[in-house]
Amino acid sequence: MTMPAKAPEKVNVAIVQMTCSTVKQENVDKAVAKIAEAAKLGANIVCLQELFAGQYPCQEEDHLKFQEAEPIPGPASEAVQAAAAKHGVVVIASLFEKRAEGLYHNTAVIFDADGTQLGIYRKMHIPDDPHYYEKFYFTPGDLGFRSFQTKFGRVGVCVCWDQWFPEAARLTALTGAQMLFYPTAIGWLVDEKDEYGDAQVSAWETMMRSHAIANGVFVCAPNRVGLEGTIEFWGHSFVSDPNGNLLKVGSHDQEEILVVECNLAQIDFARTHWPFLRDRRIDAYSGLTKRYLDEGAL
């Protein structure tokens, strides 16, 4: 029996931050070109930003926006799949999925380097904030937290709002993920940027760097850039190592492909020096399955 090839220890990860137009095919074509460019730069794994095939649709509650969704497989995912196979890279792509009539998800699809679809992850945490009205559009994911064995390592995928929840990162890491990818669409509301902008970016970055440290994994976050409606997407895509060090950070306003070498051997080193997984008190965490611990609940 032929044994599968062992994934290399050193993997080049590319995260793509780009602007999006109102024309879907333009965005898909741009993403395919970015995958090709990332591969040329030496990438093994390429992750696109959240909902890369269009402008962010959730700034208002508009039934016409459902027309932007498509099934998986569908035209956008098939274009990305072909690019993965053509260039020999793993690709993670976030899409507006039409699962059935009246049933839609915010879904990431994962393709191996030969174009094989390894699976999908449906966004579990769905926000409902001013100009981020995702609950109107998306049904919460029902597949749980997952990771996928690729040619270049085991990747875990969550999506945007998931990144604020340590439970999501932990459960994904516990499936064996070596790298956590967070396709993202986050930005400033134009009238809030001056007062809150720096603090918002700092909180976002700090939260995900904490996931890297607490779980001993690489964290990779591609975010979009550009002004869409009342949101100025702030870019600042980055990759963090298992110690929380920023390996590379994107600008706030330019399209960029960040290619970063990730040495997966760092994971065991980090986890044996900071043995958080060893010291978890799994016998004492039943409260995490409750909404809130009222007095005397335990």
Number of other CB atoms surrounding residue 9 within 10 Å:
12
Which residue reads 């994904």 in tokens?
Answer: 172
Q: Which helix H or strand E contains 200, and what residues bound it? A: helix 193-215
Distance CA(138)–CA(121), nearest Å, equals 13
Pairing of strands 238-240, 246-249: antiparallel
Active site residue 160: yes
b vs e for 151-190, b when ≥16 Cβ sit within 10 Å of the residue's Cβ?
bbbbbbbbbbbbbebeebbbbbbeeebbbbbbbbbbbbbe
Q: Which of 50, 97, 134, 228 is catalytic?
A: 50
3-state secondary structure (DSSP) of residue 54: coil
Phi, psi of 127 (to 5 degrees): -80, 165
Distance CA(36)–CA(27), nearest Å, equals 14
Active site residue 262: no
Distance CA(34)–CA(31), nearest Å, equals 5
Q: Which helix H or strand E contains 170, and what residues bound it? A: helix 166-173
Q: Which of 58, 160, 220, 262 is catalytic?
A: 160
Q: Which of 30, 34, 98, 123 is catalytic?
A: 123
* Amino acid code (one letter) for 195: E
* Amino acid code (one letter) for 112: D
Active site residue 78: no
Contact (Cβ atoms closer than 8 angstroms) between residue 130 and residue 99: no
List the catalytic residues.
50, 123, 160
